[in-house]
Chains A and B, each alone.
Chain A
Amino acid sequence: MRHSIRIAVGPVQFRIGSDWPEPIAALARLYAGYPHDEARPADATVRLFAARPWRRWMRPSVHIGGDFVVPDALPLPLSMGLLAAEMGMNLQVALGWRRHMLLHASAVARGGRALIMSGESGSGKSTLAALLGEADWRLMGDEFTLIDPVSGDALAFPRAVSLKNEAIAPVAAQVDAARLGLLMAGTPKGDIRHLIPRPEAIAAMHEPARPALLLFPRFGGEAAIEPMGEGEAFVRLTEASTNYVALGEVGYAALTRFVRETPAFGISYPDSATGIALVEQLWAGAAK
């Protein structure tokens, strides 16, 4: 790879290589405030490469490679090289990480305790985490949360937040433009704009937080709170974990403990302000 960068996000050290300079330059800007340790070996390697050597010049198209490869991963135009890098980073972690149980969930922390939000794409978990992270919460991650199987603690994975579609405007309105990436319009995931987490969140990314509340947000509909039993939370989190099966009994033990110790609720909300109010209401009860 002609161009490369090393980035540490939470416990994961990435090495990202590319045939082109542009995606690496975009990553260097988004991750400028993250710890850099050139000597540390990479846990995950992402490669962005041209399909054929001549394609680098003729019609730039980015393929994603690494230790794990999804056979039908789409080639993206070079203008979406940053998205390709992000997808590659997610993929390597989702499929390769074994040290912690990986939940497809966002998380924020306050007072050393974590609020974890799990849900499908479109549930608003990422937007809620981003907005809470701009208030008096520490953003731990908008996409993945790691659970330490030994301590039961949540660990942060505060990659640059991937704001999508309607979530872009309300967040962009309240942050310094220097913390925003370029707008990538019309990607396969819609419009995307990255948000660099606040410096405090990046500085604290190695600090674990005790899970205190587990929410399953659902954007749309009347405001509602529905308590969720341990069994249902367990089932949902096995589906939300990308490495539950691979971890075997370690994952089983971590997840049963997690759902027993962490109160869980489903919440529905018609807009972000209501969602945040519901979060604060439940947090007041859970974090006593």
Chain B
Amino acid sequence: MPDPYYRAAPSGALRIEPLGELTAIFDRRSMQTHLVVSPMPEILHAMGADDCDAATVAVRLAESFDFGGAEEVQPILAERLSELAAMGLVARA
């Protein structure tokens, strides 16, 4: 089964505040505070306003991060995307 596509929360819905090793994300729609660690903030940033699957996110993150050609990056990102979806921070496109 191909990786699903996701869409990040609309611009302005999230207030993201890095707090040392953690990042706090306030979702204005649900009024919930989420606390996440890398790579969640990086994934959200890389997605922008586009519909993305894990492969797209992997390509975009590779522009800033050195994955060393590791092959397991894509399944890991697919898992993280499904976790972000469970938190309501991204939605299935």
Q: Complex formed: what's the CA distance from A235 to B33 in Å?
A: 10
Q: Any chain B CB within 8 A of the CB of A165?
A: no
Question: Which stretch (B19-27, B65-73, B83-91) binds chain A?
Answer: B19-27
Q: Any chain A CB within 8 A of the CB of B35?
A: yes
Q: Any chain A CB within 8 A of the CB of B1?
A: no
B3 to chain A, nearest CB (A): 30
- Chain B 24-54 per-residue mask, 1 if CB under 8 angstroms from chain A, else 0: 1010100101010000000000000000000
Judging by beta carbons under 8 Å apart, are B31 and A256 in contact? no
Judging by beta carbons under 8 Å apart, are A256 and B28 in contact? no
Interface contact tally, CB-CB below 8 A: 40
Q: Pick from B15, B20, B22, B31: contact of A245, CB below 8 A.
A: B31
Judging by beta carbons under 8 Å apart, are B20 and A231 in contact? yes
A163 to chain B, nearest CB (A): 35
Q: Any chain B CB within 8 A of the CB of A98?
A: no
Chief secondary structure at chain A's binding surface: helix
Binding site for A on B (CB under 8 A): 15, 17, 19-24, 26, 28, 31, 33, 35
CB contacts under 8 Å to B, within A248-274, are: 248-249, 252-253, 256, 259-260
Chain A interface extent, by class: 10 to 19
- Chain A 217-251 per-residue mask, 1 if CB under 8 angstroms from chain B, else 0: 00000000000011110110010000011001100
Residue of A nearest to B31 (CB): A248
Residue of A nearest to B33 (CB): A252
Judging by beta carbons under 8 Å apart, are A231 and B35 in contact? yes
Q: Which residues of B contact A259 (CB under 8 A)?
A: 19
Judging by beta carbons under 8 Å apart, are A252 and B24 in contact? yes
Q: Which residues of B contact A229 (CB under 8 A)?
A: 19-22
Q: Which residues of A contact B24 (CB under 8 A)?
A: 231, 234, 252, 256
Q: Complex formed: what's the CA distance from A232 to B35 in Å?
A: 10
Residue of B nearest to A253 (CB): B15
Judging by beta carbons under 8 Å apart, are A260 and B26 in contact? no
Q: Which residues of A contact B21 (CB under 8 A)?
A: 229, 231
B70 to chain A, nearest CB (A): 27
